[in-house]
């Protein structure tokens, strides 16, 4: 079974469609949250995600904010402005779908969360200390996270005193992982690693191969929709350089 792993779509349907096309063929999809927020296409993204084969999706901080789990004051000014915009546009069905998302799932022996296994909605898996602490917080071999928008792998080394290491991966190459790992596929709709291409992972559970990929999409079209919607200009500007 080949699984497509995506995260942080952030209401960018153009990036999502580019990833879906580029990643084919896949039999199921795991989504690590933040389907909405920042971007201009929240309803289209939710409906597309809902329609994907074998979809399993966890709740991100933006998804939680819009469904009232966390207050808008927890967000910075621009994130808040886009959340208020979003509030006025989401259909009731799509809002209900977001509210119904779990914070943590275990699928085919793999843990899925948005932030970290310890704090699924909010914690950023950015550094080795955080990764080390979180390695104890899940029982599966692999844990998939999103939230930082930076594709990465934190890996336990050997049997002895546990240490972790962050790897930035090469695109389009199959790789195997035998140690306990926390993997982040990067962001579909708003990459922040200074590479503007949409980011994703695939996993083949028969061969146990992972693959990391990036794909171009029509950034200008999305920027135009962001500006036409009256969303903060920074959301449009940052897509160009991936920050
Ligand atoms: Zn996000």
Domain boundaries, the chain: 2-241
What spacing in Å lies between the alpha carbon of 159 and ligand 1's midpoint? Answer: 33
Q: pLDDT 10s per residue in the chain (243 long)?
A: 999 999 999 999 999 999 999 999 999 999 999 999 999 999 999 999 999 999 999 999 999 988 766 666 777 777 777 888 898 899 999 999 999 999 999 999 999 999 999 999 999 998 888 988 999 999 999 999 999 999 999 988 766 556 777 666 788 888 888 889 999 999 999 999 999 999 999 999 998 899 999 999 999 999 999 999 999 999 999 999 998
State the Cα–Cα distance between residues 76 and 197, nearest whole angstrom: 25
What pLDDT is attached to residue 207? 87
84, β-bridge pairs: none
CB atoms within 10 A of CB 241: 12
Distances from the Cα of 105 to the Cα of 47, 124, 185, 191, 196, angstroms: 21, 18, 17, 24, 29
Residue 72: Cβ-neighbour burial (10 angstroms; 0-12, 13-18, 19+): middle
State the Cα–Cα distance between residues 210 and 225, nearest whole angstrom: 34
What spacing in Å lies between the alpha carbon of 25 and ligand 1's midpoint? Answer: 26
What spacing in Å lies between the alpha carbon of 111 and ligand 1's midpoint? Answer: 18
What pLDDT is attached to residue 76? 79
What pLDDT is attached to residue 60? 97
What pLDDT is attached to residue 69? 62
What spacing in Å lies between the alpha carbon of 61 and ligand 1's midpoint? Answer: 7
What spacing in Å lies between the alpha carbon of 168 and ligand 1's midpoint? Answer: 19
Domain boundaries 2-241, corresponding CATH code: 3.60.21.10
What spacing in Å lies between the alpha carbon of 207 and ligand 1's midpoint? Answer: 30
Handedness of CA 47, 242, 110, 18 (dihedral sign): positive
What pLDDT is attached to residue 162? 65
What pLDDT is attached to residue 93? 96
């Amino acid at each position: 079974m080949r699984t497509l792993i995506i995260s942080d779509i952030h209401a960018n349907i153009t990036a999502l469609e580019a990833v879906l096309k580029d990643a084919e063929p896949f039999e199921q999809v795991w989504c690590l949250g933040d389907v909405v927020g920042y971007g201009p296409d929240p309803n289209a993204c939710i409906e597309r995600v809902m329609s994907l084969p074998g979809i399993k999706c966890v709740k991100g901080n933006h998804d939680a904010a819009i469904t009232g789990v966390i207050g808008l004051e927890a967000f910075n000014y621009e994130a808040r402005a886009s959340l208020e915009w979003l509030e006025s546009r989401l259909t009731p069905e799509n809002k209900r779908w977001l509210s119904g998302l779990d914070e943590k799932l275990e699928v085919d022996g793999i843990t899925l969360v948005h932030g970290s296994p310890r704090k699924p909605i909010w914690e950023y898996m950015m550094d080795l200390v955080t990764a080390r602490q979180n390695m104890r917080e899940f029982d599966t071999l692999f844990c998939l996270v999103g939230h930082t928008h930076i594709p990465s792998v934190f890996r336990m080394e050997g049997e002895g005193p546990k240490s972790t290491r962050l790897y930035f991966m090469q695109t389009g190459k199959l790789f195997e992982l035998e140690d306990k790992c926390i993997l982040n596929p990067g962001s579909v709709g708003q990459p922040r690693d200074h590479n503007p291409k949409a980011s994703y992972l695939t996993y083949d559970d028969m061969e146990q191969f992972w693959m990391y990929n990036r794909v171009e999409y029509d950034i200008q079209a999305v920027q135009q929709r962001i500006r036409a919607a009256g969303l903060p200009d920074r959301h449009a500007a940052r897509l160009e350089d991936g920050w």
